[in-house]
Structure 1
């Protein structure tokens, strides 16, 4: 039994209960089940068979959520297409993924040709779900053309455990073609929850409205989204549990969220290539113990997690098979995957992340490492600074110098004072050499701060 079987079971009960809400569309369970079968029929009529690759270039709509399930229902290989690259890069990615069909939503973007999602539905023909399928997920998209991580249906099972959770009103803020958004949609369908889709590009005003109107009691963020909501003049009070992933939270912001919403903020550590690596439950965060605000939690009991020379390595059922077109992890590393994160465990088994290896700034006469995340977290504790991103700027004398991109609350900030505070707290190595004030930090459509774009300003 796969998650598709369990989803169909959920959609076969309480026919008039809300299943998926997005934009002007509101589907009951009966309507969602009907559309799921119609989309599967549309794929089959167009020649899609088990094992065929179907690329989807879609946004956050109820129809798109069900399209993704429909590809799995017929046993296809679902290929998520990222929104960030240009047309030529997208076409190259699709060619590399070796797909047999492309489905596009013209309202999401017109960069690609393919079957229009709106024209796809056929007849509501009931089908027995295929016993296996695959999902190909693009990597985060901040370091060039994404790679394609392959997850097989048999490696990320445990559907029954997830389906046993009680139903909720879930507001998903990330793209459904990204790991967190896809996981949220799957969880909602498995639990019989009402899935409310935020817009494809996050908007804090819309979040505030949907949280109120749809009586949301669970929501999913990446950190910059949560920060925008916390800074919103109409930020909701306690009403929902929060799951945050995609990047570690700044301790100051986590404290602010707990003070605003209560002990309901859970952190999940995972990535496209390796889901569910570690979890920091809300109940284990103690405002009187600052270290609990910095950790991403203990490892998932089903996963092996090690640090090797400061790098975090993982192995287990939630790790990808490998990248499409390349040898599998079993063939190359006995199933182990280097996450690209740098971190360490404390004596109690809590994992702390210093930085992404690609974001480390190598500077000084001895080419020492500056962990940009440590600097980012400290900067937002200074008066007037709402968001911060430290990146490497090429420097003839130092190799790389620390440059700060800052978002302020409108008040004047003094660079000399910022520099002195950084040196006093973190040492001379972390001394910034320059800074830029921005109205907001650039982000990918997934919602993560786009440090690649910031670094590109120095080329």
Structure 2
């Protein structure tokens, strides 16, 4: 027997339509490329999104075709989210921080028909246009007065919109039709496309808005520092209108001073971004001697969040840090670190030990860890293995790879190595490609990195494997000192004593001026491994008594990597 409920499709357009109808006067504030601050409402956003849909139809765009964007977080980019997907096309957000050759490959692979771009990327478009012959037109996100001088013929966004009256009804689409496209940088070889549906986007927005997730409400003002070109800004552009949340979009200026001033001016209550941004904001506030007056919580993801930074924000600035994990293939949210009632009654340090993990899944996601034999492992916080996920906003296959699916028995292999404790809290111990295999046992590079950055003189650190003649691989710390700070190799190595088991201790430390990062802020360990592939560890010179691993005490899984995971302060986060 079937139920007798209305069959109303879950559509991206319904999100902005809801916000316009029921939160119509709520503001969307943007720091524009032009230098000023733009302010309008959800009601006006929907009207202009409809004008964009009309303009694209007038240009001959068909449902299902892809429209690319090269843009910062701003109101025109937000209009593209709804105007493109709303009439049935696919909004393809492209990361402008990639190399031009990579961007050209992505645009061509996606078969983008038009590309909308912020004027800061005019020179980039001039480089891309000859490499992307199938793009019918490039649309500058500005008015006629701000059109840049370019070699490439371009269309003016505001002129296109002005030619339309906005009298447009959002069509009733199949909720399983494609709405958005993002390419992941978390894989080897060419990037892979994750093609989202209207249904997955709306369900993800519901999941993100729940109290035990990002917890948006109509009383909040959210400033997403995470770019709208990176995994849909973690779903914020969809979740904010669903909840009626005030949106504050920071544009291109993401330095600590710019972010702090915008947060204070607009009464921002919550935010979201990668650790590098929060380190910069923290440095500014310390230098300026200022604190937040309205910011209450932030979601931190994108790469490992040092526990020391998490505690500083909470203890010194009164900001709740919500640690998160996910990936492009998951739209991206998977887990968030929030306590239930019973956990909140535990001693403070026990609470913090949980909050420094990646947290519990939100409804819509399931997860498991499996061993080398493919069997599911227990949730005891000790056993760790390969992490698998499934759910309605997890991809079934990659874009244009119709002949094969990455799923294993209906589960998506994330490429992460993790533990799950009896509370159901996930803890990422490493990426499978970054884990260090010493004497046949695993060492978590993330845990060693977190210990290194907890040292008061260290700003950032990465841990990579170096070849060792006896133990196959041993850990090397590559660290960046804080400005004006000093610490020796020996002092930093001594800092690890007592914090991990003996055979986990790093073999060496190298100090550098900066670490390489991907376009989405993640450490590029592949580059570091290439850079230090010929590095000779002191312990490798004699490969015996000088090795931190006691040669008379072989690795023991009961008190080695698995045992140390129980006491770890590891962290990882949403990847793209």
> Displacement of 1:282 after TM fit?
6.2
Q: RMSD of the alignment, in Å?
A: 2.8
> Displacement of 1:67 after TM fit?
1.0
Match of 2:447 in 1: 374
Distance 2:274 2:339 in 1: 16
What is the CA deviation profile of residues 132-182 of structure 1, one whole-angstrom value per residue up to 9, with x for unaligned ones?
Answer: 433211113585532111221223433567498324211111110112615
Match of 1:341 in 2: 416
Please tell me whether the aligned partners of residues 480 and 515 of structure 2 are also in contact (alpha carbons under 8 angstroms).
yes
Matched, 1:84 2:76: no
> Displacement of 1:271 after TM fit?
1.1
Deviates more, 1:57-66 or 1:20-29: 20-29
Q: Give secondary structure in 1 for the equivalent of 2:236.
A: helix
Matched, 1:448 2:522: yes
Match of 2:227 in 1: 175
Please tell me whether the aligned partners of residues 401 and 433 of structure 1 are also in contact (alpha carbons under 8 angstroms).
no
Match of 1:136 in 2: 181
Matched, 1:266 2:322: yes
Instruction: Say which of 488, 491, 495 aligns to 1:417.
Output: 491
Q: 1:14 and 1:180, CA in 2 relative to 1: closer, same or farther beyond 3 A?
A: closer
Please tell me whether the aligned partners of residues 238 and 262 of structure 1 are also in contact (alpha carbons under 8 angstroms).
no
Q: Give secondary structure in 1 for the equivalent of 2:419.
A: strand
Match of 2:394 in 1: 319
Please tell me whether the aligned partners of residues 18 and 241 of structure 2 are also in contact (alpha carbons under 8 angstroms).
no
Match of 2:109 in 1: 96
Matched, 1:186 2:217: no
Distance 1:331 1:85 in 2: 25
Please tell me whether the aligned partners of residues 72 and 118 of structure 2 are also in contact (alpha carbons under 8 angstroms).
yes
Q: 1:266 and 1:180, CA in 2 relative to 1: closer, same or farther beyond 3 A?
A: farther
Deviates more, 1:212-221 or 1:184-193: 184-193
> Displacement of 1:32 after TM fit?
1.9
Q: Give secondary structure in 1 for the equivalent of 2:392.
A: coil
> Displacement of 1:76 after TM fit?
1.0
Match of 1:196 in 2: 248
Q: Give secondary structure in 1 for the equivalent of 2:491.
A: helix
Please tell me whether the aligned partners of residues 11 and 33 of structure 1 are also in contact (alpha carbons under 8 angstroms).
yes
Instruction: Say which of 275, 278, 295 aligns to 1:226.
Output: 278
Instruction: Say which of 52, 63, 68 aligns to 1:55.
Output: 68
Deviates more, 1:205-214 or 1:258-267: 258-267
How high is the TM-score relative to the length of structure 1? Answer: 0.89
Match of 1:384 in 2: 457
Match of 1:3 in 2: 12
Tell me which structure has the larger Cα radius of gyration.
Answer: 2
Q: Give secondary structure in 2 for the equivalent of 1:55.
A: strand
Distance 1:136 1:303 in 2: 20
Structure 2: 5+ residue stretches without partners? 1-9, 130-136, 142-155, 211-215, 372-384, 534-576
Match of 1:435 in 2: 510
Distance 2:424 2:245 in 1: 33
Structure 1: 5+ residue stretches without partners? none
When the two structures are aligned, how many residues end up with a matched partner?
A: 456
Distance 1:287 1:355 in 2: 26
Matched, 1:150 2:195: yes
Distance 2:410 2:417 in 1: 19
What is the CA deviation profile of residues 181-215 of structure 1, one whole-angstrom value per residue up to 9, with x for unaligned ones?
Answer: 15112222222222112234631111111111111
Please tell me whether the aligned partners of residues 104 and 112 of structure 1 are also in contact (alpha carbons under 8 angstroms).
no
Please tell me whether the aligned partners of residues 104 and 116 of structure 1 are also in contact (alpha carbons under 8 angstroms).
yes
What is the CA deviation profile of residues 279-316 of structure 1, one whole-angstrom value per residue up to 9, with x for unaligned ones?
Answer: 21267576321522432112223222000120110011
Distance 1:190 1:371 in 2: 39
> Displacement of 1:396 after TM fit?
6.7
Q: Give secondary structure in 1 for the equivalent of 2:77.
A: helix
What is the CA deviation profile of residues 260-280 of structure 1, one whole-angstrom value per residue up to 9, with x for unaligned ones?
Answer: 233622222211111332221
Matched, 1:287 2:332: no
Please tell me whether the aligned partners of residues 518 and 524 of structure 2 are also in contact (alpha carbons under 8 angstroms).
yes
Matched, 1:408 2:408: no
Distance 2:100 2:113 in 1: 19
Match of 2:168 in 1: 127
Instruction: Say which of 415, 422, 425 aligns to 1:350.
Output: 425
